[in-house]
Structure 1
Amino acid sequence: MQTKIEKRVEMLLRDGRGAIVCALLAFVSAAHALESDSEQPIYIDSNTATYDDKAQTSVYTGNVVTVQGSLRVDSDKLVVYLKNGEISKLVATGKPARFEQLPAEGKEKIKGEALIGEYYPGKDLLILKKEAVVWQGGNKSASDLIHYDSRNALIKAGEKSSDAKRVHSVFKPKPKQPQNP
């Protein structure tokens, strides 16, 4: 019996949408976000927006597009948490919420999706939860939990505490160059 994640990986492979960032933890050395991304302002566009000064939260709904440098997140809803006037956390939800980021000039974009995405701009950390999938080029990983730390060029998937929550990865070989006769 296939899990939702395994079905999602198969669906993504069939529809031709690429795959994840190199081999988790060690294979990701080239995958760090453009250095200037964290220094850029965060732009949010949505159908509706509300701000609660007492709770220091903003809620955006309806076709929410969030951009910071080369990082883009598309979601159904976004909750922004402030601390001392600074954004401490953004939580994007959707069916699914999607992200993409250019890791470096000349590299392929890193893309991902999940039902919940938590972004910590001060740490350059994106945490994807529930039916999470991340891909780059011909490589892909899927799990219920994926951490993408663009500052340190690190991707972690899965949970050590649970054998039931497996990580599913696919690595496609690069096409061989034809040899000259």
Structure 2
Amino acid sequence: MNKATIFSLSILLTLFTHGNSWGFNNTEKIYIDADRMKANIESGHSVYTGNVKVRQGKLLLTGDKIIVQQRNNEVELITVFGKPAHYNHVTEEGEIIKANSEKMVYTASKNQLVLTINARLNHPEHKVSSQKIVYNTLTKIAIAGDKQQADSHATDKQGENERVRITLTPKPQITDPEAAEQ
């Protein structure tokens, strides 16, 4: 086995044992598919490029480029780039959580996924879009908008304010009186 293969396996094992709250769990294998991989065994830095897919169970990450940074055999940071990059996860409760943006940064120690540039986060009952969304994968709390944009009244290419856009979906109303009694 060459050093690059050994390094890739060490990344897989690290992801395999770390990061439960992001959708990764320690009972299923992780599969990474990419056109190319470049790894630095000394620094724990690896770069996957070309239609990159990371799968584990009901979690799928896709992007044009994914960078994994490890320290002490644990994943510290995962950065995903794409036009857009995608995050799809079916939770244990059966909720489908989807996100996409041109850049995603996951910080394992904070259970934090930061989506920037045309960011969208879709939960089963609501959707959020902004230029920046910070999502805690453990608490499922999302914060959208960028303080710098709010202070400077930043505008997008069309001259419109860079605003946070939210869609809340009400629960369906029961219209059958007999069904309401049951």
Fold match, TM over 0.5?
Answer: yes
Q: Hey, what does 1:159 align to over in structure 2?
A: 146
Give the aligned residue type for 1:179.
Answer: D
Distance between the aligned counterparts of 2:71 and 2:172, measured in 1?
49
Q: Which has the higher relative contact order, 1 or 2, with Cα contacts under 8 A spaced 6 or more apart?
A: 1
State how far apart, in whole Å, the 1-side matches of 2:79 and 2:141 are: 20
Q: Tell me if the contact between 2:126 and 2:167 (Cα under 8 Å) persists in the aligned partners.
A: yes
When residues 126 and 70 of structure 1 are mapped into structure 2, their CA distance, relative to the original with a 3 A threshold, is farther
The 1:35/1:48 distance shift into structure 2, 3 A limit, reads closer
Q: Number of matched residues?
A: 148
133 and 151 in structure 1: CA distance in 2 versus 1, 3 angstrom threshold: same
Q: 2:41 is matched with which residue?
A: 53
Q: Which runs of 5+ in 1 are unaligned?
A: 1-32
**Does the alignment pair 1:132 with 2:119?**
yes
- What secondary structure does 2:147 align onto? coil
Aligned counterparts of 2:86 and 2:100: Cα–Cα separation in 1 = 4
Deviations 1:27-54 (A, max 9, x none): xxxxxx9769454265422111111234
Q: Distance in 2 between matches of 1:156 and 1:42?
A: 29
Per the alignment, residue 96 of structure 1 pairs with: 84
2:133 aligned to which of 122, 146, 149? 146
Separation (CA, whole Å) in 1 of partners of 2:20 and 2:93: 7
Deviations 1:1-45 (A, max 9, x none): xxxxxxxxxxxxxxxxxxxxxxxxxxxxxxxx9769454265422
Contact 2:39 2:47 (C-alpha < 8 Å) held by counterparts: yes
The partner residue of 1:85 within 64, 73, 77 is 73
Q: Secondary structure at the match of 2:172?
A: coil
Contact 1:38 1:124 in 2 (8 A): no
Change (3 A) 1:64 1:116: same
Distance verdict in 2 for CA 1:77–1:86, change over 3 Å:
same
1:66 maps to a residue whose letter is: V
Contact 2:38 2:48 in 1 (8 A): yes
Structure having the larger proportion of residues in helix? 2
Look at both structures and tell me which one has the larger radius of gyration over its CA atoms. Answer: 2
Residues 99 and 78 (structure 1), Cα distance of their counterparts in 2 relative to 1, 3 Å cut: same
Please identify, of 143-152 and 159-168, the stretch whose mean Cα deviation from structure 2 is larger.
159-168
The 8 Å contact of residues 119 and 131 in structure 2, kept in 1 or not, is answered as yes
- How far apart are the structure 2 equivalents of 1:73 and 1:90? 11
CA drift at 1:90: 0.8
**Structure-2-length-normalised TM-score:** 0.70
How far does residue 151 in structure 1 lie from its aligned partner after superposition? 1.4
Find the partner of 1:171 among 165, 168, 171: 168
C-alpha distance in 1 between matches for 2:138 and 2:168: 24
TM-aligned CA distance change 1:104 to 1:94, over 3 Å: same
